[in-house]
A and B are shown apart, each in its own frame.
Chain A
Amino acid sequence: MAFDKSEVEKIAHLARLHISESEADEVTSRITDILALIDEMQSVDTDSIEPLSHPLDVVQRLRTDEVTEQNQREKLQALAPDNQDGLYLVPKVLE
């Protein structure tokens, strides 16, 4: 599967990363190399194989539905780069 500069731009946007014009060639060629390594997978027939998403054959544990967490709003919000009156501030999204 060919991977080119326009693909890099698209993927960078999906990942919310900014790739500058000067980096684009290098990024494209590195990722192309990595995809070539990954493509070794295509040499094996896996049609009848069930995917394994988790190393252990276990089911999700459930707990009783009761409040266990304390309210730590102020403590957690104190970590934010910008906040005010209990709200996280970001650049204006609505005019």
Chain B
Amino acid sequence: MISSTVAELSIALKAGDISSVELTQAYLNRIAQYNGDLNAFITVCEESALEQAKAADAARAKGDTSLLLGIPLAHKDIFCTQGITTTCGSRMLENFISPYNATVVEKFSNAGVVMLGKTNMDEFAMGSSNETSFFGPVKNPWNNECVPGGSSGGSSAAVAADLCAMATGTDTGGSIRQPAAFCGITGLKPSYGRVSRWGMIAFASSLDQAGPICKSAEDAALMLNVMAGLDEKDSTSIDKPVEDYTASLGNSLEGLKIGIPKQHFAEGLSSEVEQAIRDALKEYEKMGAIIKEIDLPNSHLSVPAYYVIAPAEASANLSRYDGVRYGYRCENPVDLEDMYKRTRSEGFGEEVKRRIMIGTYALSAGFYDAYYRKAQKIRRLIKNDFSNALKEVDVIIGPTSPHTAFKLGSKSDPVSMYLEDIYTIAVNLAGLPAISIPAGSANGLPIGMHIVAGDFEEAKILNVAHQFQKLTDWHRQKPSQISGKEV
């Protein structure tokens, strides 16, 4: 039962084949068995999860028919949860207990979802391997010598290892999609503004977006139905009606125009990944889709522009961690400046400090035009590239990542780590929705396929992903053992 999709669990719970308490206990047992090796969870909420499960079973007995009622979920530890620590993967917030719930947390709670705990992540979501977490790296369930990807590495590993039915993630440059690809699961980054960012700890405010991490496109649709929508508390959330994302999953793809960016099938792409994506495209052709090569001429500039914009926004957002109102404070400061400097130097890890430095530099007097303003102009060029391409095609498909999961510790220099997100980052700069779904495997590690569409076209992406999952079973594959233990 624990390997079932959310859609299947919803039916089983409704039919009374299993109770939420039984299901929740099964996941808690699984967490107890594997989390020691995987390190996917920072906090496990056994007691409150079982209470929520009991409440869900009681609500069902009284006639509540909410689709996600009683289904166990894990939240990335970037979402504020009232009464439960929210660390953001940082020493700075090691003991931080939020006085309120993030809107996303509130929405799942109102839908009767059971929260199993909080998942590990790169510190402040800055990383592509989950190695920058203060709480230690997460292991990839498919191979414990490999990273799960990042920054939503804990959520992705937890879903892949069936430690939960579904999880939340956030994506600033690929942080849902790249770990979803590395862990062989489904991860959707919605359009900027589709999901409220309130109570989601800020990294880069014009790029951050929350989304579902789960076992199928259908599950992503069910989760997005709960997550999406206007929130008065987030002035950047968009006032646009939320459609039922499950409604169009079954639409035919006959005549669908798929663009494949030539820049994403060029140097740097591993041959196994390329082959898997080309094979997947053949499946789409069988469904009546038309494949067309497209040009995203400025895509090579997306990583450079991102590493100005994201650090610049981060340096401003992270200035709030000063040791005064909440979070870590250094011991025995001699004066105010010493307190600020030591609090921040001891509370933040190396990568976070590096990005604060880059951002501060890019915004400092004399460099603003050369860096920040220049990056914003490039951002316009990148958005235009997508707008032009999407006039000719309905969706854009390519690899999520140039290769499968890499070994822990194998990318010690920041620049090579930054280039990990080469296919995903442009989408955040443009604010578009995109999904990664499993589409193959090489050497026992999953391969992810990236599907992008226009602003607020999540339903189209989910339809295109679901049709692929109806014909193939890559999303059903599971690691045969986790950390040497038979599954």
Contacts and interface: CB of A to CB of B under 8 A. Distances in A.
B455 A56 contact: yes
A61 B235 contact: yes
A34 B307 contact: yes
A72 B370 CA distance: 43
Contact of B357 (A8, A72, A79, A80): A8
A91 B376 contact: no
Contact of B414 (A34, A56, A61): A34
B377 interface: yes
Interface string B371-397: 101111111110100000000000000
Contact of B329 (A18, A49, A63, A81): A81
A69 B381 CA distance: 41
A57 B380 CA distance: 12
Contacts of A6: none
Nearest to B341: A18
A42 B327 CA distance: 39
Contacts of B431: 55-56
B232 interface: yes
Nearest to B309: A53
A60 B382 CA distance: 23
Contact of A91 (B336, B344, B367, B373): B336
B413 interface: yes
B377 A30 contact: no
A77 to B, nearest CB: 8
Interface string A28-58: 0011011111111110101001111111101
Contacts of B151: none
Q: Chain A interface residue count: which class? A: 35 or more
Interface stretch (B16-24, B54-62, B318-326): B318-326
A37 B307 contact: yes
Contacts, number: 163
Given A17-B341, A55-B429, A41 B357 contact: no
Nearest to B375: A41
A49 B239 contact: no
| A interface: dominant SS | loop
Given A46-B377, A49-B380, A55 B308 contact: no
A38 B418 CA distance: 11
Interface stretch (B107-115, B133-141, B154-162, B295-303): B295-303
A11 B378 contact: no
B376 A93 contact: no
B325 A79 contact: yes
A82 B374 CA distance: 42
A52 B376 contact: yes
Contacts of A11: 357, 360-361, 364
6 contacts: A15-B319, A15-B356, A39-B304, A40-B304, A52-B376, A81-B323
Interface of B: 96-97, 99, 191-193, 206-207, 232, 235-236, 238-239, 298, 300-301, 303-305, 307-308, 315, 319, 322-329, 333-342, 344-345, 348, 353-354, 356-358, 360-362, 364, 367, 370-371, 373-381, 383, 413-415, 418, 429-432, 455
